[in-house]
Amino acid sequence: MDRIAQLQTFLAQTPKDNFVRHALALEYIKAGNDVAARVLFEELLADSPDYTGSYYHLGKLYERSHLTDLAIACYEKGMAAAKQAGEKHAYNELQSAYEDLVY
């Protein structure tokens, strides 16, 4: 069973598992399926806006899709969530991506 199929099986058993949704979205990106990855990341962050690790990857996906305004908003929201959670590494990563895009 390939990794995507495995993760889909896990997700069917625990549909709101953020780790599994995040991992599956990353596998979709590796496979070139940005549409499926975007759906998963957006659903994950709608349900759990404090899951800071997904903001960076969703922002980069928006950038690749030439959706600059959405990428900027995603990075800003992620920075706010990371700051509130005290996650300095996530905040710095998001800030760097934001500044690379904006400046």
For 75, the token pair is 């990075």
- Condensed to tens digits (0 to 9), the pLDDT of residues 70-88 reads 999 999 999 999 999 999 9
CA distance 17 to 14: 6
Cβ neighbourhood burial of 62 (10 Å; 0-12, 13-18, 19+) = buried
- The tens place of each residue's pLDDT in the chain, 103 residues long, gives 699 999 999 999 999 999 999 999 999 999 999 999 999 999 999 999 999 999 999 999 999 999 999 999 999 999 999 999 999 999 999 999 999 999 9
How many other C-beta atoms can be found within 10 angstroms of the C-beta atom of residue 31?
Answer: 13
Q: Report the CATH number of the 3-102 domain.
A: 1.25.40.10
Q: What is the per-residue pLDDT for 1?
A: 64
Which pTM was predicted? 0.94
**Three-state secondary-structure class, residue 75:** helix
For 74, the token pair is 């995603």
